[in-house]
Amino acid sequence: MHTAIQIKNLRFAYGAKQVLHDVSLDIPARQVTAFIGPSGCGKSTLLRCINRINDRIPSAKITDGSILVHDIDINRSDIDLQELRRQIGMVFQKYNPFAKSIYENVAFSLRVAGKNKRAELDEVVENALRGAALWDEVKDRLHTSAFGLSGGQQQRLCIARAIANQPEILLMDEPCAALDPLATLKIEELLMELKKKYTIVIVTHNMAQATRCSDKTAFMYLGNLVEYGDTMQIFEKPREKQTEAYVTGTFG
């Protein structure tokens, strides 16, 4: 199986506070990998290292180790951050469409890249909205405000916006945490489609979601990667006591 992301002996700190300790894992291409673990264990921090969005936090620092994406060390000084973030899209817990129309949300990155040809934009917008399982619901209201959509639709719009960039990897930080069960189900179904084309890494505190959607699961605790393996194995035959306690809900 092809490895998309290699995390090697990663240590990370916010100022003097060490929050990731020697984390190593290989994330396979075109599968869904879930990061699970109690609040504060470092899931988001680890996810945010993969597209270097932690760079925006002045105190944030990788103190050791490396991350390779398709065999390239993303922390090399000559990495083009804009290109890295095109290649690695991100979706957040709080869906965050721009105060623009549905169409312009998806077309945004193309416009920024100086692409303004109507036919080209139309095609990208339609394909991205189809890819996010949103097209049928919005095709008659493309030029209305994104804020008129339901929460679940706004989240799928954010996914469409990421897809429009033709990424290889999608990072999702608790993408369903603000959604109701039905909207959550739609996103979970969408993940099954998306993984045919994209490598997906998802943070979730919902263990049922991890078992339903992910191929691999990484269990983290206090900044350590306690156990990583096939999702079935992690939930049904965990090797570590801490993992077992967490996945059976007898934690702490």
Q: Which residues contact ligand ADP (rule: CB under 6 A)?
A: 14, 17, 19, 37, 39-45, 57
For Mg ion, the closer CB: 96 or 150: 96
Distance CA 13, CA 16 (A): 6
Do you know the residue count of the chain?
252
Among the residue ranges 18-26, 41-49, 50-58, 64-72, the one whose residues contact Mg ion (CB under 5 A): 41-49
Question: What is the rounded CA–CA span in Å between residue 135 and residue 38?
Answer: 36
Q: How far is the CB of 201 from Mg ion (least distance, A)?
A: 13
> What is the nearest approach in angstroms of Mg ion to the Cβ of residue 27?
17
| Pick 20 or 157: Cβ nearer ligand ADP | 20
Cβ-closest residue to Mg ion? 44
Q: Which is nearer to ligand ADP, 14 or 108 (CB)?
A: 14
Distance CA 219, CA 228 (A): 6
Q: List the structure tokens of 246.
A: 């967490």
For the CB of residue 54, give the shortest distance to Mg ion in the complex, in Å.
Answer: 12
Residue 44 or 153 having the CB closest to ligand ADP: 44
Q: How far is the CB of 236 from Mg ion (least distance, A)?
A: 25
DSSP β-bridge partners for residue 34: 202, 217
Give me the torsion for CA of 206, 209, 211, 214, rounded to 10°: -110
User: What are the Cα distances from residue 136, in Å, to 61, 128, 144, 228?
Assistant: 43, 12, 15, 38
- Gap between the Cα atoms of 203 and 224, Å rounded: 15
Q: Please report how close the Cβ of residue 172 comes to ligand ADP at its closest, in angstroms.
A: 12
- Nearer Cβ to ligand ADP, position 20 or 88? 20
Verify binding: residue 44, Mg ion, rule CB under 5 A: yes
Query: Tokens in use for 72?
Result: 């390239």
| Residues at the contact surface with Mg ion, assessed by CB under 5 A | 44
